[in-house]
Amino acid sequence: MSSTVIHIKLKRGGWEVELDVPEDRVSEVISKVLAGLNVPGPLDEKGFPQDKPERGVTCKILLEKLWNDSWFSSLRGLSDVDEELARMGYHYDKTAISHSLTDLVREGVLSREGTPRSYRYVQKKPPENPLA
């Protein structure tokens, strides 16, 4: 007995995958594809991430978290920041990211090097270690 073939299109960050999968293997194949695309966290019974990004988290809060995790210990461009936020499951307009980065520069958290449209950002001061 042959199974119905289902056409599936998955998008994750810069990746787009199209699959033709037998109906009885959809869940298994989706799980494997998402695992290969580094979808963080556990998957539900249908192969979708269980942990969804929190709503109401601002771009600036996420950038402060990256700073606190020392992600800005090396120079990062706007595209790097956008890709990291997308990897975390957050998708902000690059203008919003740029404004939040500028706020952190004004607050003395980050330094900015380069010229307009090609700025690179790095931590100006290291995150405070509460255990020290």
Condensed to tens digits (0 to 9), the pLDDT of residues 54-103 reads 566 789 999 999 998 899 999 999 999 999 999 888 888 999 999 999 99
Same domain for 64 and 101, yes or no, is: yes
Same domain for 29 and 66, yes or no, is: no
Question: What is the pTM assigned to this prediction?
Answer: 0.57
Which CATH number do you get for residue 90?
Answer: 1.10.10.10
Same domain for 63 and 41, yes or no, is: no
Same domain for 26 and 76, yes or no, is: no
CA nearest to 47, candidates 13, 15, 12, 85: 12
Same domain for 63 and 48, yes or no, is: no
Residue 76 in any domain: the answer is: yes
Q: What's the number of domains the chain is made of?
A: 2
Residue 130 in any domain: the answer is: no
Mean pLDDT for the chain? 80
Confidence of residue 53 (pLDDT cuts 50, 70, 90): low
Same domain for 44 and 80, yes or no, is: no
Residue 104 in any domain: the answer is: yes
Same domain for 40 and 8, yes or no, is: yes
Enclosing domain of residue 68: 59-123
